[in-house]
């Protein structure tokens, strides 16, 4: 996806303005996730409040610039539409952990009725996925909801076989089973009669054309994330153009980033699915004394009060802080170029 240009409702802040009140943090995770044991993020304070810039380190500057546009839109301009709800139902997220760790991981999320299970983990097998889904179903009971996320790791044949094996556990949907739009469309055609919905995540947030997956009739719903899509207003426009049900999710954010996701979910005309915004439960610490950990399966739509002591305690090493600040400067320059 091309980096968005600046929001017409405000001027692009200078690098000095972006970094004037910025804090690079490094937060330990409760369980290894995406190969990470710590999550790094930059918190930026603008005139509208705190924002987060936290693209994963492997993303190039062009992709990361979209995340910076979202942070600027959050910290320097309020959303252009009103909130429609003040609580957001959320799911628990289960990494590809051993069976004996499942109860402990899920317990961090409290009473969530929905669990998203990571599958197709490198180094694991379909049998591992079946065991993990079976155990989660046992713990949830028949009323619980289970969705899977393969992060595009299967080809069409592998995805079809896996979904046919796993659909007996009553799946809500499968997120990004294959990497490409063409593969998703072919898979959806093959499994239509077993009625397991397909969702797109990477095919929306990492695509040059985020509507292509809807235009190809390749999925039943879209997963959207405010930061990778350039902010709340841009994400809402993508959902409106796609014309599909949407689930708002996170990218292992701090509570500041999760608050932006909650603000996006609060502005969707309809919210038919629990959102993937409960991932503060996967962090061992946070930048606030009141992290957005789910309570009775929901998180509030509210600004986050920053804990200055936590910022000091979680401060990233100097070399990492310098790396992130240089990245912000490069990404801002890309936004300037895109605006000309």
The catalytic position among 118, 147, 234, 327 is 118
Handedness of CA 313, 314, 318, 322 (dihedral sign): negative
Reduce the DSSP state of residue 70 to 3 states and report it.
Answer: helix
Does 201 belong to an annotated binding site? yes
What is the rounded distance in angstroms from the CA atom of residue 340 to the CA atom of residue 84?
Answer: 35
Beta bridge partners of 53: 42
229: Cβ contacts below 8 Å, ≥ 6 apart: 1, 66, 70, 204, 205, 210, 235, 238
Catalytic hit among 6, 225, 327, 332: 225
> What residues contact residue 140 under an 8 Å CB cut-off, 6+ apart?
113, 115, 146
Q: What does the chain come to in residues?
A: 340
Residue 225 appears among annotated catalytic residues: yes
**40 assigned ligand-binding residue:** no
| 175 marked as binding residue | yes
Residue 118: active-site member: yes
- Residues 264 and 185: their CA atoms lie apart, in Å, by 27
How far, rounded to the nearest angstrom, does the alpha carbon of residue 109 sit from its chain's CA centroid? Answer: 16
Q: Which residues are annotated as a binding site?
A: 149, 175, 201
- List binding-site positions for Mg(2+): 149, 175, 201
- The residues carrying an active-site annotation are 118, 225
């Amino acid at each position: 996806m091309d980096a968005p240009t600046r929001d017409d409702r405000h001027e692009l802040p200078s690098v000095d303005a972006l970094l004037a009140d910025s804090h690079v943090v490094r937060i330990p995770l409760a369980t290894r996730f995406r190969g990470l044991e710590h999550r790094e993020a930059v918190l930026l304070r603008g005139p509208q409040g705190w924002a987060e810039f936290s693209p994963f380190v492997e993303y190039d500057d062009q992709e990361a610039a979209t995340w910076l546009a979202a942070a600027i839109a959050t910290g320097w301009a309020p959303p252009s539409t009103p909130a429609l709800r003040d609580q957001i139902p959320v799911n628990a997220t289960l990494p590809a952990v051993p069976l004996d760790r499942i109860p402990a991981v899920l317990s961090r999320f409290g009473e969530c009725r929905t669990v998203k299970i990571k599958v197709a983990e490198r180094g694991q097998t379909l049998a591992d996925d079946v065991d993990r889904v079976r155990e989660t179903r046992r713990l949830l009971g028949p009323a619980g909801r289970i969705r899977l996320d393969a992060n595009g790791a299967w080809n069409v044949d592998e995805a079809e076989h896996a979904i046919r094996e796993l659909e007996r556990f009553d799946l809500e949907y499968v997120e990004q089973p294959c990497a490409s739009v063409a593969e998703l469309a072919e898979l959806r055609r093959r499994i239509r009669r077993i009625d397991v919905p397909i969702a797109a995540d990477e095919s929306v947030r990492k695509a040059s054309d985020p509507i292509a997956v809807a235009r190809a009739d390749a999925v039943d719903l879209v997963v959207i994330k405010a930061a990778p899509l350039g902010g709340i207003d841009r994400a809402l426009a993508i959902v409106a153009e796609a014309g599909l049900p949407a689930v708002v999710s996170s990218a292992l954010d701090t509570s500041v980033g999760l608050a932006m996701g909650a603000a996006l979910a609060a502005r969707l005309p309809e919210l038919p699915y629990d959102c993937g915004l409960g991932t503060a439960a996967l962090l061992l610490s946070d930048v606030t004394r009141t992290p957005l950990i789910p309570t009775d399966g929901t998180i509030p739509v509210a600004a986050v009060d920053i804990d200055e002591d936590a910022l000091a305690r979680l401060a990233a090493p100097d070399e990492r802080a310098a790396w992130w600040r240089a990245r912000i400067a490069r990404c801002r320059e890309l936004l300037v170029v895109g605006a000309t």
